[in-house]
Structure 1
Amino acid sequence: MTRRFLLATCAAAGAVAVAATAQPVAAQPAPTSAVRLLAINDFHGNLEPPTGSSANAVDEDGKTVLAGGAAHLAAHLKRLTDRNTLKVAQGDLIGASPLISAAYHDEPSVEFLGDVGVTASAVGNHEFDEGYKELHRIQWGGCHPKDGCSPAGKWKGAKFTYLAANVLKEKKNKPALKPWTIRYVNGVRVGFIGVVTKTTPSIVTAEGIEGLRFEDEVVSANKAAKELKARGVHAMVLLVHEGDQTPAGQRPDACGTVPGAGTRIAKEADPDIDVVLAGHTHQQYLCSVTDPAGKPRLYSSGSSFGRVITQVDFQVDRRTNDVVRSTLKGDNHVVTRDITDQPTADFVAEWKERVSTIANKPIGRITADLRRTASSAGESALGDVIADAHLEATKGLGAQIAVTNPGGIRTDFDFKPSGGEGEGVVTYGEAFAVQPFSNVTGVTSLTGAQLDELLEQQWTSAGEKILQPSANFRFTIDRSRPVGDRVSAITVNGAPVDPAATYKISANNFLLGGGDGFTTFTKGSGTALGPIDLDALVAYFGAHSPIAPPALDRISGQ
């Protein structure tokens, strides 16, 4: 079974044979130029090899192997690079990052990606985690306005270009970032267009994207394609931070996608776009879709955390300046850990040393594992503890109850030591890994009726997201009932919620801005902000250690 994507293999081979036969003795210039693309997506600042389930990748043989890490990624990129190679990415290169990168606002990761040769990337939703102004600083340089320069000195800016054709400044109705860019390789020009999921406003904090408008991905990509065509560029690649889901355990060279937002973009984008490289869903797939002109084009995604490199090879016709579709070949390479780039390993070690004094500081203790694993009702021990921490941190703002979103809890607290800290000891670095977004806690006032409305929003067309409640906030769910009528028996401090009464609820600013589809939060009044969620968690550990996993009895039903 072939492990490579190939369009019209026989036709392409025949063309090569005919061309070889027709060649005169005096060699003529080749009618086409070879181009290779190497792409990554959703790196999320994983300079060190990811751990836990995030460390695993399914390879071409269906085996689960350890993968990822900057030193290994750099080595594989070097092995796959030839003189006709361009390296690109599909967004979420930064944000939701481990402390080694996030402590210095992801400058180490952006530096690494530039050093390995990434030349252009679509912007991802997580590039907006610290706001548009911070993204602008990452692109163009300068020290952080609050934290100053990193130990490496003044930030010089990214060596690659962030692209976002569908992100506009509302007042000026102009692109907030470059919509497209052109790169020259092997005597030809290749145009790259970048778009980010149009759902970005619902999955990032409102403050971070204030004044920005996110338009439809296809409409924006097609507009950018028209602009490239006007400049005589017909070899085009769409870098899109959106994608599809796949079955668990799928090999990197399989398609098997559940058609969704990514497939829609890949099928509907301008027919002059030859390749669609995707991301966002952290899945690996290699597909062929039919464009609006009825021709096949490559559509792929390369997992996440630097575990997979997507390779695309094609020929560009020098007369038409377009990709010869029959020459398109694709492959997804798993970044195994059997080869290492030593200069990159040294670079990572240097940044690890710089952040070690922060990361290794103990903040408290636990009596057993605190995990995100949910009960049948959707409640987790770690979610409960975080909600309790947020409530305690915002009581000065009048908070009566608290909730947190499960998607903001990124890993578990393990009782077993990860280093030399001892059993049950929780370090700042471990706490950061659990709450990496630097979201701000806050309080808003909702009526009892609005609380019920809020809890009914735990089910949407995008799936289920059960809010994790503080100890004094309880409710029952029944998934057998219709969406919109699944929650009952809501209590605060043991008393039934009064639909007409007002309650002050604590949540992070992502939720308060309507994130994850919880739009009822935006109807709140008297909103006030408190400490950063990580600071709230650190303070809670300091006040309550050792912390035992709470009983999972705050959400009843199933």
Structure 2
Amino acid sequence: MTRRSMILALAVAGLSGVAAVAQPALARPAPTADVRLLSLNDFHGNLEPATGSSGTAIDESGAAVPAGGAAYAATHLKRLGNRNSLTVAQGDMIGGSPLISAAYHDEPSVEFLGKVGVTASAVGNHEFDEGYKELLRIQKGGCHPTDGCSPAGKWKGAEFDYLSANVLKEKNGKTLLKPWTVRRVNGVKVGFIGVVTKTTPTIVSADGIKGLRFEDEVVAANRSARELRKRGVRAMVLLVHEGSNVPQNQRPDACGVAPESAGTRIAQDADPEIDMVLSGHTHQQYLCTLKDPDGRPRLYSSGSSFGKVITQVDFKVDKKSGDVVRSTVVGDNHVVTRDVPPDPATEKFVRTWKERTAAIADKPIGKITADLDRKPSPTGETALGDAIADLQLASMKDKGAQVALMNPGGVRADLTFKASGSEGDGVVTYGEAFAVQPFSNVMGQVTLTGEQLDKLLEQQWTGAGEKILQPSATLRFAIDRARPVGDRVSAITIDGKPVDPAASYKVAANNFLLGGGDGFTVFKDGKDQVLGPVDLDALVTYFGANSPVAPPKLDRITGK
């Protein structure tokens, strides 16, 4: 070997030796990927913080604190988000909305949700308030067929997918919207399935869902889970617009869900391939670990309503199997407090839409002497509910109405004595009235026998719980919750006289109830139906003629 070749050989050997020493062992790729979900439910177009008790939430210490509002929700979402996070929703994000959003068919709220990164949402029953064709427009885009384009121009459609696995078209059995969608985050795939409460036909106007069928939530969710599995998606999240009832004033991370609640059943019975169930509909806050059909722990949560709580769920996905590692799932319900700086861009966005409705919203319509709120008495009466029943009776008096009944779910906000703006204490504005009665239901009346009226009042209790109808001052009755369902109402009087089972009575209610809404099907058996004004118009007229309006005494329903 020549000297040159020897030097080269030694040099190569030396370099190889150096390389062997300097080269670190290849780091093994992480076996799992981190994922964070942030979720909202039952926003109901509350771009501004809700008023009264609707604008507070119970925090971790058990205190009621001011909460909600789009600008504050945006700040909290930004603080909680990271590069591995996805934001989702569980329905009723629109519908039953204040004027700032409803005046433009909730386009402002859907735009806001897109701006804060919502990528998928289950449909809720309130997404059908204006009918399924309007929901399709909100999803896909286009100007409103009657009112035209908003001041923002042609509606481009939602930036997120509405999911409706259990909403089927009767003519072909296909889903109205996508049943599920898949998102890739941090190198792994996560599938989202959306379902809405199967009771939707009983709580929305029948005309708006004509031609649709609402399937059992678990059946539809399981079908979608099988479809996702076939496509190689193992990490699955169920977004369900159905929920559970919990004890009053429960803290955000407590569980306490009633075992008989519809949402609890879904969370326990859904396909074990589904790794977590994020819910809504009942406007409650809870964070639970329940057992799936295979006996494995599964997260089940809900985040209050009106943008007051954000649910955060952190978990790891096994990169090899693609499935969620259940032992890593950690949930946390965060109250959207207003002690943080509001997001400037969102604040400007909300202010723009507020200015577009200000001329109408700020107009005074009357006065109140004290809060008219929805705090129930032991029997279920509320001051605002009774007041609305009174004004609805007044709106139908010229048609001969003797009593009026109001569904509690149709009363959407409190009327507070303290001014919310510059209008002055005790002044009620059109915007505040709209927030109370946002559905544009039409008043009407039917003739019922005394026997039918008794059966109607017995329908306040079902297997799903109770819904106490709010009576006008002309109607009195007693209840006894200790008695069997179907035999809890007694001592019914109208204008102080006992109701005769064989006599006929004219009963006023909104067209939602008259159509059998909320399960009050006896209304559909009524005779001689006549219609009257829109419920909001009735409210405005009554306040204009009877201000100041005082809270009624809660003595129309007796018993326990």
Q: What TM-score do the two structures reach when normalised by structure 1? A: 0.89
The change in CA–CA distance for 1:414 and 1:64 in structure 2 (over 3 A counts) is: closer
Q: Deviations over 1:299-348 (max 9, x none)?
A: 22222222222222223233322222233232222222213211111111
Q: 2:543 aligns with which of 530, 541, 544?
A: 541
Structure 1 CA distance for aligned equivalents of residues 435 and 346 of structure 2? 22
CA 1:223–1:407 in 2, change beyond 3 Å: closer, same or farther? same
Alignment map for 1:56-455 (pairs within 5 Å): 56-259=56-259, 260-337=261-338, 338-395=340-397, 397-455=399-457
Residues 477 and 84 of structure 1: CA distance in aligned 2, closer, same or farther (over 3 Å): closer
Q: What CA distance in whole angstroms lies between the structure 2 residues aligned with 1:283 and 1:456?
A: 26
Change in 2 beyond 3 A, CA 1:459/1:117? same
Partners of 2:550 and 2:287 in 1: CA distance: 45
Secondary structure, counterpart of 2:302 in structure 1? strand
Mapped partners of 1:480, 1:272: distance in 2? 41
Once the 2 structures are TM-superposed, how far is the Cα of residue 368 of structure 1 from its aligned partner? Answer: 4.0
SS of match in other structure, 1:245: coil
Distance 1:373 1:298, change over 3 A: closer
Q: 1:33: Cα distance to partner?
A: 2.7
> Structure 1 24/453 Cα, relative in aligned 2: closer, same or farther at 3 Å?
farther
- Measured in 2, the distance between the counterparts of 1:262 and 1:39 equals 17
Paired residues of 2:52 and 2:416 also in contact (CA < 8 A): no
Identity of aligned residues (%): 73
C-alpha distance in structure 2 between counterparts of 1:62 and 1:370, whole Å: 25
In the alignment, is the contact (CA less than 8 A) between 1:76 and 1:339 conserved in 2? no
SS of the residue aligned with 1:349?
helix
CA distance in 2, matches of 1:376, 1:76: 36
Q: Give distance in 2, aligned partners of 1:346 and 1:530.
A: 40
| CA shift for structure 1 position 360 | 0.8
460-469 or 133-142, which deviates more: 460-469
- Secondary structure in 2 aligned to 1:407? helix
Q: Which runs of 5+ in 1 are unaligned?
A: 1-22
* Distance in 2 of aligned mates of 1:440 and 1:24: 76
Match of 2:533 in 1: 531
Cα distance in structure 1, aligned partners of 2:253 and 2:369 = 43
Residue 89 of structure 2 aligns with an amino acid whose one-letter code is A
**Distance in 2 (alpha carbons) for counterparts of 1:411 and 1:236:** 35
Q: Secondary structure at the match of 1:272?
A: coil
1:163 deviates by 0.5
Deviates more, 1:149-158 or 1:105-114: 149-158
- Per-residue CA distance 1:193-216 (angstroms, 9 max, x = gap): 001111222222222222221111
Q: 1:468 to 1:250 in 2, by over 3 A?
A: closer
Instruction: Give the secondary structure class of the aligned counterpart of 2:47.
Output: coil
Cα distance between partner residues in 1 of 2:315 and 2:379: 50
Corresponding letter in the other structure for 1:302: G
Q: Distance in 2 between matches of 1:479 and 1:557?
A: 8
Q: Which moved more, 1:429-438 or 1:407-416?
A: 407-416
Judge conservation of contact 2:53–2:414 (CA < 8 Å) in 1: no
Paired with 1:296 and 1:549, the residues of 2 have a C-alpha distance of 48
Corresponding letter in the other structure for 2:82 = D
CA distance in 2, matches of 1:117, 1:317: 25
Residue 310 of structure 2 aligns to a residue whose secondary structure is strand
SS in 2 for 1:255: coil
Given that 2:51 and 2:416 are in contact with CA atoms closer than 8 Å, whether structure 1 keeps it comes out as no
1:478: Cα distance to partner? 4.5
Cα separation, partners in 2 of 1:304 and 1:416, compared to 1, 3 Å: closer
Which secondary structure does the structure 2 equivalent of 1:541 belong to?
helix
Instruction: Give secondary structure in 2 for the equivalent of 1:319.
Output: coil
1:521 Cα deviation (Å)? 0.9
Kindly state the Cα deviation for residue 554 of structure 1 after the two structures are TM-superposed: 4.1
Give the deviation of 1:24 after TM superposition: 7.5
Distance in 1 separating the partners of 2:405 and 2:463? 21
Q: Deviations for 1:159-203, whole angstroms, at most 9, x for unmatched residues?
A: 111111111112222211211111122222211100111122222
Q: Deviations over 1:386-405 (max 9, x none)?
A: 22322233345553432112
Q: Is the 8 A contact 2:74 2:343 kept in 1?
A: yes
Cα distance in 1 between the residues matched to 2:469 and 2:448: 16
Answer yes or no: is the 8 Å Cα contact 1:138–1:158 preserved in 2.
yes
Q: Give RMSD over aligned pairs.
A: 2.4
- Give 3-state SS (helix, strand or coil) of 2:295's partner: coil
- The amino acid that maps onto 1:120 is A
CA distance in 2, matches of 1:258, 1:456: 23
Farther off after superposition, 60-69 or 512-521: 60-69
Tell me the residue number matched to 2:49.
49
Q: Give how far 1:426 is off.
A: 1.8
AA of the residue aligned to 2:42? D
Cα 1:186–1:542 shift into 2, 3 Å: same
The whole-number CA distance in structure 2 between the counterparts of 1:395 and 1:77 is 50
Q: Is the 8 A contact 2:366 2:543 kept in 1?
A: yes
One-letter identity of the residue aligned with 2:221 = A
Distance of 2:317 and 2:103 partners within structure 1: 43
Greater shift in the superposed pair: 222-231 or 165-174? 165-174
Amino acid at match of 1:177: L
For residues 277-296 of structure 1, the C-alpha deviation after alignment (integer angstroms, 9 at most, x for no partner) is 11122222222222223322
Number of residues of Structure 1 aligned to a counterpart in Structure 2 = 536
Is the 8 Å Cα contact of residues 44 and 94 (structure 2) preserved in structure 1?
A: yes
Shift in Å at residue 32 of structure 1? 3.0
Using the TM superposition, give the Cα deviation of residue 482 of structure 1 relative to its aligned residue in structure 2, in angstroms.
4.1
Counterpart of 1:296, as a letter, is: P
CA distance in 1, matches of 2:478, 2:246: 32
In structure 2, do the counterparts of structure 1 residues 360 and 553 end up closer, same or farther at CA, with 3 Å as the change threshold?
A: same
Q: Is the 8 A contact 1:405 1:465 kept in 2?
A: yes
Q: Structure 2 length normalisation: TM-score? A: 0.89
For residues 471 and 117 of structure 1, do their structure 2 counterparts lie closer, same or farther at Cα, with a shift above 3 Å needed?
A: same
The 3-state SS of whatever aligns with 1:93 is coil
Q: C-alpha distance in 2, partners of 1:395/1:501?
A: 19
Of stretches 407-416 and 118-127 in structure 1, the one that deviates more from structure 2 is 407-416
Secondary structure of 2:305 counterpart: coil
Give the counterpart letter for 1:230 in structure 2. Answer: K
What is the SS of the residue equivalent to 1:353?
helix
